[in-house]
Structure 1
Amino acid sequence: MTDTTHTNGRPRAILPALEKIYLPLDSLAETLLRVLAGALLVTHGYGKILDPFGTVGMVEGLGFYPGVFWSPLLAATEFFGGIFIAIGLLTRPAAFAATIVLLVTVYFHGIALGEGLGGAEKSILWAAITFFFAIRGANSHSVDAKLGKQF
C-alpha cells in the first residue's frame, strides 16, 4: 500500500506540483488568520476599552450581574485578548476567553435579539476561529514560540 500522508500528517496532494506552492505557505496562512483575528478583536474592543462601563446595561440585559464587573471584563477580553492573540502571547487562554465572549454573542444575536442564524453567523465563525487557536495554540511565528513555552 502506498503512503498517502506527509510527515506532517496531512494527505498528499492530488496534484503534487502544487505542494511546492502551498506547503511552505501553510504556517504563514495560519499566522495570518491568527493575526487578523486578533487585530479585528482589538478594533472591536477599542471603543469598549475607552468606555469600559459603557456596556453595563447590555451585559445585565443578558443576565450577567453585576454589569460593573462584566462590562470591563468584556472590554479587556476583546481589546487585550485580541492583542495577545495577534502577537501569539498566552494564545490559548486569550483565545479561550474570546471564544466564551463570542458564544455569548451567538446567544445575544441569535436568540435574545431574535435574529436567528443570519444574525449569529459572524459570531459563530469568530467563535470557531478563536476555538481553533484555543485548542491549537500559536505556531512558530509567535511570542509563545520565541519564549519556548505555551500555556
Structure 2
Amino acid sequence: MSMTPETPRQRLVIPALGGIYGALNEGIETLLRVVAGGFLAIHGSSKIVNPFGAADMVEGLGFYPGAFWSLLLACTEFFGGIFIALGFLTRPAAFAGLFVLLVTVWFHWITMGQGYSGAEKSLLWAAILAFFAVRGGNRHSVDARLGKAF
C-alpha cells in the first residue's frame, strides 16, 4: 500500500511540496520506528540487567507471579525495542510494547490518580506503538528483507 502525499480529497496549498513529501515518506516512517524502538530498548536496558527487579512493582499492579511478569516486562521493553528498531517481527513486538504502555497508562491515570498529566507520555508512546502494531515495518525492515511479515 503506497501512501501518497496528495489524494483526490486533499490538495496541497503548495503543490510543489508533494514530491518532497513523497520522497521523505518512507524514510521518516523508518526513522520513527528506529527511534521508538531504540528508546524503548534503552528504557528496558536497566530492567534487563536485573530482570526480576520489578517483581514487587508488578505484583502491586495485580500481576502474579511478580517474577514472571517482571522478566516479561524486561524482555518486552529491551528485546522488543531492538526488534522494533530493526523491523523484525515488528507487529508482535509493537503489540507487546503497546500492552505494557497501556498498563502504564492505567497505572498513572487510575492507580496513581494522576489523570492525563501523569499518563501523557505513556499515551504518546502507546499511539506510536499502535501505529507500528498495525502498519508493521516498511520496506526498510528485516521483515521486508525476509519477505515475511506477521
Match of 1:67 in 2: 66
Match of 1:28 in 2: 27
CA–CA distance in structure 1, aligned partners of residues 3 and 68 of structure 2: 48
C-alpha distance 145-56 of structure 1, shift in aligned 2 (>3 A): same
CA–CA distance in structure 1, aligned partners of residues 3 and 57 of structure 2: 49
CA–CA distance in structure 2, aligned partners of residues 90 and 21 of structure 1: 30
CA–CA distance in structure 1, aligned partners of residues 54 and 121 of structure 2: 20
Consecutive unaligned residues in structure 2, runs of 5 or more: none
CA–CA distance in structure 2, aligned partners of residues 117 and 78 of structure 1: 23
CA–CA distance in structure 2, aligned partners of residues 58 and 149 of structure 1: 37
Q: Secondary structure at the match of 1:114?
A: coil
Q: C-alpha displacement at 1:119, in angstroms?
A: 0.5
Match of 1:137 in 2: 136
Q: C-alpha displacement at 1:9, in angstroms?
A: 8.0
Q: C-alpha displacement at 1:111, in angstroms?
A: 1.2
Match of 1:41 in 2: 40
Report percent identity of matched pairs: 64
Q: Give RMSD over aligned pairs.
A: 1.5
Match of 2:98 in 1: 99
**Alignment length, in residue pairs?**
146
- CA deviation string 1:120-150 (max 9, x = no partner): 0100010010011000100011000111110
Residue type of the alignment partner of 2:124: L
C-alpha distance 22-9 of structure 1, shift in aligned 2 (>3 A): closer
Q: Which moves more between the two structures, 86-95 or 20-29?
A: 20-29
Q: Secondary structure at the match of 1:16?
A: coil
- CA deviation string 1:3-32 (max 9, x = no partner): xxx984852423111112211000011001
Consecutive unaligned residues in structure 1, runs of 5 or more: 1-5
Q: Secondary structure at the match of 2:13?
A: coil
CA–CA distance in structure 2, aligned partners of residues 43 and 23 of structure 1: 31
Q: C-alpha displacement at 1:84, in angstroms?
A: 0.2
Matched, 1:76 2:75: yes
TM-score by structure 1 length? 0.92
TM-score by structure 2 length? 0.93
Matched, 1:87 2:90: no
CA–CA distance in structure 2, aligned partners of residues 10 and 82 of structure 1: 32
